[in-house]
Amino acid sequence: MDPETEPLLASNHHSSHGPAKDIEKVTWRTETLLILRQTTPLIATYLLQYIFSLTAIIVCSRLSTTELAAASLGLTTSNIIGLAVWEGMATALDTLCAQAYGGGNPEMVGVHVLRFTILVHLVAVPIGGFWITSPWIMPYLTPDAELAEGASTFLQWYAVGIPGYAMFEAGKRFVQAQGNFTSGLGVLVVCVPVNIFLNWLLVFRLELRIVGAALAAALTNLIRPVLLAGDVVFIHRQTLKCWPSHLSWVLVFANWGPMVRLAVPGAAMTLSEWLAFEALTFVTSYAGVEQLAAQTYLATISVVVWHVHFSGSVVTSTRLGRLIGSGQLETAREVSWFYFCIFIGMAVFDVALFVVLIEVVLSHLTSNKLVEAALRGAIPFAIVFTFCDCMATCMHGTIRGLGWHHIGGWVTGIFNYLYAVPLALVLELGPPRMGKV
């Protein structure tokens, strides 16, 4: 009998290990409490991951303007050609691991994680090669020779942490599929002071400057999967029930098709969103310095708020995946409607959070009148964007739970680059000239 259970990726809708589990009774109260309980630590987890990039920017801002710009360019490049790809690929595990666990086949969770870890490292080879050879490539992306050299130096040293970043993303999915959304958070809480200490030691004490900032981030990435493994082995040992007791080369390297079919569109979906943001920020530089500053604030706030509903979408896909894996299709359908309504409330919360953060920027972080005018003028559009982005992210979580990553990849790519980005360019730089304050 095939040890694998992939309900939506195969023709059957029930586990091959027997009948579906007892049908769960779902209510508004239970599902709302579940998404709140699991989303909260996940939001903190993603925000803490984001803080490591902000720390590198803040540290380099204490060195020089050139090194600040170089670190920013290096991080932007690594986000697009690297982190976005791995984050998107990891969404395949949101489906596969959740369905395996819900289908009563826990050891397949570990097998999926092992397969993904190998796959993501194979993909990391050309990406790491790009980072390492960036001194030959970066001059074509920016005419400033000093900026190009600093950004490529950052990328080369940041590449040291690639294996750790990839393994941590896989490890998070291993525990999240089992309903454990706190282990990853605990690891990052420990890593924050470690990262700060490494920045102090390498950047200022040893005077490695931008090399130290990149190396501090890279070493922190290497530490993450070690700490997560320690948490699983010594604290949450019950999660080891999902680690395969008997491994073979055939089991690990067989049947990669479903994983690849989910990982590729998952990466495309995430990359298209991240790249659209970065492209618009780059294009805004043509509208003026004040407009670029305002766009930087808006993009940063959008990323912070995005982590709220993206975390909710991960919980959604995990929940639906477990229900579908156990054959409870009617319950999954009912839960998906619950979560759609819950996300409407989350969208309202995110809009309020966006407005509060904009007001904080206007009150405390900028005194430039033109930047203030640009920010205030953008608030109505930002509110509409935040609400729609939250609902779209909800849909992404639902289709990932169903294993329909390819739909999200095609829809996101087509609408971003055949409609949204061109429209933004026309409105900002074209005849409407809305990019001008």
Residue 243 φ/ψ region, left for φ over 0, alpha for ψ in the -120 to 50 degree band, beta for the rest? beta
CA angle (113, 118, 120) in 5-degree steps: 90
Tell me the C-alpha to C-alpha distance, in Å, between residue 294 and each of 97, 256, 332: 41, 45, 42
Task: Decide if 283 contacts 299 (C-beta within 8 A).
Answer: no
Is 69 domain-assigned? yes
Is 352 domain-assigned? yes
Q: Which of 167, 131, 109, 122 is nearest to 260 (CA)?
A: 122
Using CA atoms, how far apart are residues 50 and 417, in angstroms rounded to an integer?
26
pTM for this entry: 0.79
Span between the terminal Cα atoms of the chain, in Å: 66
Is 399 domain-assigned? yes
Average pLDDT over residues 385-402: 85
The pLDDT value given to residue 214: 96
Is 20 domain-assigned? no
The pLDDT value given to residue 10: 40
Is 17 domain-assigned? no
Using CA atoms, how far apart are residues 116 and 260, in angstroms rounded to an integer?
9
| Domain containing residue 407 | 28-427
Which of 65-74, 145-154, 271-280 is predicted least confidently? Answer: 271-280
Is 15 domain-assigned? no
Q: Which of 115, 119, 110 is nearest to 174 (CA)?
A: 110
Assess whether pLDDT exceeds 50 at residue 9. Answer: no
Assess whether pLDDT exceeds 90 at residue 209. Answer: yes
Q: How many domains does the chain have?
A: 1
Average pLDDT over residues 231-239: 94
